[in-house]
Amino acid sequence: MKKTLLACIAALSVGAAWADYPEKPVTIVVPFAAGGPTDKVARDLAEALRKPLNATIVIENVGGAGGTLGATKVSKASPDGYTLLLHHIGMATSPSLYRNLQYKTLDDFEYLGLINEVPMTIISRPTLPASSYADLAKWIEGNKGKINLANAGLGSASHLCGLLYQSTLKTDMTTVPYKGTGPAMTDLIGGQVDIMCDQTTNTTSQIESGKVKAFAVTTPKRLGGGLAKLPTLEEAGLKGFNVTIWHGLYAPKGTPKPVLEKINNALKTALKDADFHKREEALGAVIVTDARVNPADHKKFVEAEINKWGPVIKAAGQYAD
Ligand code: ASP
């Protein structure tokens, strides 16, 4: 009886200690450089999250090593709700790629919910002599051994897509890693690299303004809007090619439950924000439905993605220390 009462008081005081959260700015770590697609999603989300969370939100870009440096930083941050991580599919591909990952994906984070799903596009420098997917395929065939493929490092979405693309075509390209596809895009536009596969959240405006050439989408269905004319890779003859990138929000393991609940509730509200929807949908992203914005389903989904991509990555023989 006495014990139960003490436990109740303890639980109440823990809850009370966090009742005023957030009392200072909340940092969202983006594990890629500024100006890229993950950064764009984070900045758009921050805008929508500010009101429901009642906090100033600061974006911190910690790029490098395919997103694993930023994820490592958050896994070791104080579990107080003031440092969060917004990461993509790399959360699920890096455990198969890095032999010495500094965190355990399923054990070292609190899962707060999925955010969106984003298709990818195969794009090239504007000077590449091809104007259709068939032209691109011929150009790749005729330039074996000379092609540079930009990506955001081992474990990034662009790496995963490029890996699948090369293995489906049975071609090896020279990969050029960046801290994010924001800076990679600058070099692609400038013609320093030839090809990239990247999220529509980064490529749509560059395609529409003619700064890069676009040849195909990586999803099973064609996209709408200005990108509707692009064939799917499946239509272009690459059977079963399907890469969709998703983003999720995480906190360090041990963040108090009342804080996690506040963030999750704020995330649910932010994902219904009309302006956020408008901005994301214009760039080809689909916001996830309420039912998937919960910690348990988010974690289950990441686990399934680890199991889905592990064998694919293993078959490609890729890994890093
Ligand atoms: N799109 C990048 C990737 O390939 C990352 C980024 O800069 O957002 O993973």
If we measure between CA atoms, which residue out of 45, 14, 16 comes closest to residue 273? 45
If we measure between CA atoms, which residue out of 16, 61, 3, 27 comes closest to residue 251? 27
> From ligand 1's centre to the CA of 10, what distance in Å?
44
- Token pair in block for residue 318: 């890729």
Instruction: Determine contact, residues 205/185, Cβ cutoff 8 Å.
Output: no
Atom of ligand 1 nearest to the CA of 161: 4
What is the separation, in whole angstroms, between the first and last Cα of the chain? 53
> From ligand 1's centre to the CA of 19, what distance in Å?
36
Cα→Cα distances 214→74, 160, 163, Å: 35, 18, 18
> From ligand 1's centre to the CA of 139, what distance in Å?
25
pTM (predicted TM-score) = 0.91
Cα→Cα distances 140→125, 133, 146, 218, Å: 13, 10, 9, 18
User: Phi and psi dihedrals of 40, rounded to 5?
Assistant: -65, -45
Instruction: Determine contact, residues 105/252, Cβ cutoff 8 Å.
Output: no
Instruction: Determine contact, residues 138/130, Cβ cutoff 8 Å.
Output: yes
What is residue 197's three-state secondary structure? strand
> From ligand 1's centre to the CA of 113, what distance in Å?
20
> From ligand 1's centre to the CA of 129, what distance in Å?
26
Residue nearest to ligand 1 atom 5, measured at CA: 180
What pLDDT score was predicted for residue 3? 46
What pLDDT score was predicted for residue 31? 98
Atom of ligand 1 nearest to the CA of 178: 7
What pLDDT score was predicted for residue 321? 67
| Distance from C-alpha of 109 to C-alpha of 90, rounded to nearest angstrom | 14
What pLDDT score was predicted for residue 104? 97
If we measure between CA atoms, which residue out of 194, 196, 162, 166 comes closest to residue 182? 196
| Distance from C-alpha of 106 to C-alpha of 85, rounded to nearest angstrom | 14
How buried is 69 (Cβ within 10 angstroms: 0-12 exposed, 13-18 middle, 19+ buried)?
middle
What pLDDT score was predicted for residue 236? 92
Residues 74, 41, 245: CA angle, nearest 5 degrees: 85
Q: Give the type of residue at 281.
A: E
Instruction: Determine contact, residues 47/277, Cβ cutoff 8 Å.
Output: no
pLDDT tens, per residue, the chain with 321 residues: 444 555 445 455 555 678 899 999 999 999 999 999 999 999 999 999 999 999 999 999 999 999 999 999 999 999 999 999 999 999 999 999 998 999 999 999 999 999 999 999 999 999 999 999 999 999 999 999 999 999 999 889 999 999 999 989 989 999 999 999 999 999 999 999 999 999 999 999 999 999 999 999 999 999 988 899 999 999 999 998 999 999 999 999 999 999 999 999 999 999 999 999 999 999 999 999 877 889 999 999 999 999 999 988 888 776 666
Residue nearest to ligand 1 atom 7, measured at CA: 180
121-155 confidence digits (pLDDT tens): 999 999 999 999 999 999 999 999 999 999 999 88
Structural domains in the chain, sorted by start: 23-117+245-316 (3.40.190.150), 119-227 (3.40.190.10)
CA 133 centroid distance within chain: 26
243-281 confidence digits (pLDDT tens): 999 999 999 999 999 999 999 999 999 999 999 999 999
| Ligand 1, CB within 6 Å, residue ranges | 32-33, 36-39, 88, 90, 151-152, 156-158, 180-182, 198-199
Taking only Cα atoms into account, the Rg of the chain, rounded to an integer number of angstroms, comes to: 21
CA 315 centroid distance within chain: 23
The residues pairing with 248 across neighbouring beta strands, listed in sequence order, are 87, 114
Q: Please, what's the largest Cα pairwise distance for the chain?
A: 80
3-state helix, strand, coil in the chain (%, to 5): 45, 20, 35
> From ligand 1's centre to the CA of 258, what distance in Å?
32
What pLDDT score was predicted for residue 5? 54
